[in-house]
Amino acid sequence: MPPREPADRLIVALDVDALDAALALMDRLDGLVRRYKIGSQLFTACGPAAVEAVHKRGAAVFLDLKFHDIPSTVAGAAREAARLGVFMFDVHACGGRAMMQAAAEAAAAATPPGARRPLAIAVTVLTSLDRAALQRELRVASSVEGHVLHLAGLARAAGLDGCVASPGEIAPLRNHLGAGWVIVTPGVRPAGSDPHDQSRVATPAAAARAGAHYLVVGRPITAAPDPAAAARAILHDISP
């Protein structure tokens, strides 16, 4: 089941290059946003200090570093993610079943007693890849949707909790993997707003209705003249 409260379903992407900028954004969203995504840019710039800064404000972290390496290396990274106390982290499903299983098991084993283990999420087919790239460059014969469903099934068999999915993939994944599968959806755009470089977008309400547990929103909030007003509008949009 998705979290009940709208504020528990919204994850704001802190796609900034320095801790000061992340702190300034969180100041503006204080009291509204409870979950933030830290990706490779901010983590490369300032490391675990970014995670600690979010936690200090009482919010939760989705550590979006998309681990992809041999199983023992990814297990080590997943262990550190669990020790940092993030609520969710992700790995590339194309690292294979053994790699994903090692990540999920290591994160569970490293979770301190009494704490909740982080959700382990798979990245299936990057939304920047289309059918032509998948077939000609990566030599994957199936359709994008077929490959997404295949990799998500593999992730579930490996013990992962869910996957990242673009808005159009939510319904087939929900049908294929059932209600318990956690779906995390970026590419969310309020009606009439700038799609930026996202091509397969949906409104927050449509993504939530289609069955996304979590909505990842970056620029519609972080680049808005009034980020708090933008976040408030999205929370209203996904209210039952």
Site string for ligand C5P, 107-146 (x = CB under 6 A): -------------------xx-------------------
Confirm or reject binding of residue 183 to ligand C5P (CB under 6 A): no
Contact 82, 106 (CB under 8 A): yes
Q: Which stretch binds ligand C5P (CB under 6 A): 20-28, 132-140, 173-181, 217-225?
A: 217-225
Confirm or reject binding of residue 13 to ligand C5P (CB under 6 A): yes
Nearest residue relative to ligand C5P (C-beta): 218
Question: Which of left, alpha, beta for 108 (phi over 0: left; psi -120 to 50: alpha)?
Answer: alpha
| Residue linked to tokens 């084993």 | 109
Buried b or exposed e, range 16-30, using 16+ CB within 10 angstroms: beebeebbebbebbe
Query: Please, which residue, 109 or 223, has the CB nearer to ligand C5P?
Result: 223
Active site residue 66: yes
Binding test (CB under 6 A) with ligand C5P, winner from 103, 155, 210, 216:
216
Query: Please, which residue, 110 or 231, has the CB nearer to ligand C5P?
Result: 231
Q: Which stretch binds ligand C5P (CB under 6 A): 24-32, 80-88, 108-116, 213-221?
A: 213-221
Q: How far apart are CA 103 and CA 127, in angstroms?
A: 23
Q: How far apart are CA 181 and CA 174, in angstroms?
A: 7
CA angle in degrees (0–180, nearest 5) for 226-166-106: 100
Q: How long is the chain?
A: 240
Confirm or reject binding of residue 15 to ligand C5P (CB under 6 A): yes
Query: Please, which residue, 57 or 219, has the CB nearer to ligand C5P?
Result: 219
Confirm or reject binding of residue 50 to ligand C5P (CB under 6 A): no
Find, among 57, 206, 216, the residue nearest to 127 by Cα: 216
Q: Which residues are catalytic?
A: 66
- Positions touching ligand C5P (CB under 6 A) are 13, 15, 39, 126-127, 164, 186-187, 196, 198, 216-220
